[in-house]
Amino acid sequence: MFKLYNKNMNTKFTAFKTPVGILKITADGNKITAIGFAAREGRSAELPVVLQEAKKQLLEYFDGKRKSFKLPLKFPASASAFRLKIWKAMCRVPYGKTMTYGELSAKAGNLKAARAAGGACNKNPFMIILPCHRIVGSDGSLTGYAGGLNVKKYLLNLEK
Q: Tell whether 50 and 114 lie within a shared domain.
A: no
Q: Is the pLDDT of residue 2 over 70?
A: no
Give the list of residues 6+ apart from residue 149 with CB closer than 8 angstroms, or none.
142, 143
Q: Tell whether 87 and 56 lie within a shared domain.
A: no
Q: How many domains does the chain have?
A: 2
Q: Is the pLDDT of residue 20 over 80?
A: yes
> Is 44 a member of any domain?
yes
Q: Tell whether 44 and 87 lie within a shared domain.
A: no
CATH number at residue 105: 1.10.10.10
User: What's the Cα-to-Cα distance from 16 to each of 50, 59, 91, 143, rounded to whole Å?
Assistant: 15, 10, 24, 26
Q: Tell whether 144 and 99 lie within a shared domain.
A: yes
Binning pLDDT at 50, 70 and 90, where does residue 81 land? very high
Q: Tell whether 85 and 152 lie within a shared domain.
A: yes
pLDDT, average across residues 68-88:
94
Q: Tell whether 87 and 145 lie within a shared domain.
A: yes
Model confidence pLDDT, tens digit, residues 112-136: 899 999 999 999 999 999 999 999 9
Model confidence pLDDT, tens digit, residues 86-116: 999 999 999 999 999 999 999 998 888 999 9
* Amino acid symbol at 14: T
> Is 20 a member of any domain?
yes
Q: Tell whether 41 and 97 lie within a shared domain.
A: no
**Where in the sequence is the domain holding 56, given as residue range(s)?**
11-62
- pLDDT of 3 reads 35
Give me the active site residues, please: 132
> Is 1 a member of any domain?
no
- pLDDT of 145 reads 86
- pLDDT of 5 reads 40
Q: Tell whether 58 and 85 lie within a shared domain.
A: no
Q: Tell whether 97 and 153 lie within a shared domain.
A: yes
Give the list of residues 6+ apart from residue 61 with CB closer than 8 angstroms, or none.
67, 69, 128, 158
